[in-house]
Structure 1
Amino acid sequence: MSANGLNGETKENTKMEGPVLELVLFNIFVRDMDSGIKCTLSQFADDTKMCGVVDMLEGRDAIQRAQDTLERWDCANIMKFNKAKYKVRHLGHGNLRHKYKLGREWIDSSPEEKDLGVLVDEKLNMSQQCMLAAQKANCILGCIKRSVATRLRGVILPLYSALMRHHLVYCVQLSGSQHRKDMDLLEQVQRRP
């Protein structure tokens, strides 16, 4: 029996290397980022989103204080946020569209942003997302039509399913039947010969 008690076997399968170790270390490093912040902070991979309700000036001030806290965390941990990616998205009717700063720089406002691959505007409307999905699906259908000589169902259907269908169903359930014209557009692509 060897000193490690494993009959000469090594423990290489428990070793963390490369990307896995990087993600673990990154998560450990940023886990205290939200300490002292009263707003909602959502983190996905290396993306962080801060959300807050601003119905009174206190809400605006709370978001600005959270921004200041993030800036202090940034300096203390010698980690630089990509300020070019910072955007403020104002949601809701009658929004006063307050301005916010990160450090000394004003943060730009954006009427629409792509979040996890879904394009959403300030009215939470997904019409643009549906239009882009239909456009991409039409391009793929055109490529299939130009590249495949046969029109046999047994050939076209697997190509359709593998290459195009996921573009049409990605996040469509979010819009539901809220906007019939968007659903009609996607269905029109599906019926295309």
Structure 2
Amino acid sequence: MPVKHLLKLFADESKLIAQIKNKLDIQNVQDDIDSLVDWAKEWRMAFNYEKCKTMIISKREFTTNNFNPVMSKDDGTFHTIKTKSERDLGVTLSEDLKWNEHVRKAVAKANSVLGMLKRTFTFWSIETFEILYTTYFRPHLEYGAPVWNPYRRKEINLLEKVQRRATKLVQSLKNFDYKTRLEKIGITTLNKRRHRGDLIQFF
């Protein structure tokens, strides 16, 4: 299955990554797609066409307007769906290469879990909070963080706001400021944990 461009495979997913500068590049990508479709048919592993999507990371009108790859099917051809953002291995990648959508989804999921925990537990000691928070809540705010660690203050504050509100669940700490609540619980800010994760990843 020879292809001209970078091909990434993971489990049942495949990604073709290419740089488009001219019509020849577009044709080369289409040739690679044709090769992949032929290979899948030969091995009786047909693609799920409805999940085949194209993301264009570019501001050039030539790329945006002219790149529209197709896949052959037994009953004709299928134009891949153009998408502005896509969830890949739990991380939402957007065409503008910004992480605001991923952060928004992570916060929404964490808030949903927090609401469920609030309805389930009526009394929160420091020990109870630490166990429940680190097990069921915080992972939603940190999954894949070395990939998307935000640099804009807006996303940093949005994430921190969730933890700030969560720490108020501990009845004995409600009247303390955020920094003191963190110290008494024995945890740090999410921003500090992301920087720590970056250092670990780099090491």
Q: Which amino acid aligns with 1:77?
A: W
The two structures, once aligned, show a CA RMSD in angstroms of 1.4
Q: Secondary structure at the match of 1:67?
A: helix
| Pick aligned residue for 2:145 from 172, 186, 190 | 172
Cα deviations by residue, 1:6-49 (Å, 9 ceiling, x for unpaired): xxxxxxxxxxxxxxxxxxxxxxxxxxxxx321111100011111
Aligned residues: 159
**Could you tell me how far 1:125 is from its partner in structure 2?**
1.5
Alignment of 1:130-169 (within 5 A): 130-169=103-142
The 5 Å alignment of 1:94-133 reads: 94=60, 96-97=63-64, 98-103=67-72, 104-133=77-106
- Aligned mates of 2:18, 2:9 — CA distance in 1: 15
- Are 1:63 and 2:63 matched, yes or no? no
> Rg: which structure is higher?
1
- Cα offset for 1:79? 2.2
Q: Secondary structure at the match of 1:114?
A: strand
Q: Is the 8 A contact 2:99 2:150 kept in 1?
A: no
What is the CA distance between 1:93 and its match in structure 2?
A: 2.1
Once the two structures are superposed, what CA deviation does each residue of 1:131-185 show, in whole Å capped at 9, x if it has no partner? Answer: 1111111122222222112121111111001000100111233233422211110
| Mapped partners of 1:41, 1:79: distance in 2 | 17
Instruction: Return the offset for 1:101.
Output: 0.7
Is 1:37–2:10 an aligned residue pair? no
Contact 2:37 2:46 in 1 (8 A): no
Relative to its length, the structure with more helix (as a share) is: 2
For residues 158 and 52 of structure 2, the distance between their equivalents in structure 1, rounded to whole angstroms, comes to: 33
Q: Secondary structure at the match of 1:99?
A: coil
**2:92–2:102 Cα contact (<8 Å) kept:** yes
What is the identity percentage for the equivalent residue pairs of Structure 1 and Structure 2? 28
Amino acid at match of 1:101: V
Name the CA shift for 1:179/1:132 in 2 (closer, same or farther; >3 Å).
Answer: same
1:191 to 154, 160, 164: 164
Letter in 1 for 2:36: L
Which letter maps to 1:41? L
Segments of structure 2 that go 5 or more residues without pairing to the other structure are 169-203
Q: Deviations over 1:45-77 (max 9, x none)?
A: 111111111012221111000011112212222
| Counterpart Cα distance in 2 of 1:47 and 1:137 | 27
Say which SS state the counterpart of residue 48 (structure 1) adopts. strand
Query: What letter corresponds to residue 153 of structure 2 in structure 1?
Result: R
Which structure 1 residue ranges, 5 or more long, are not aligned?
Answer: 1-34
Query: What does residue 79 of structure 1 align with?
Result: 45
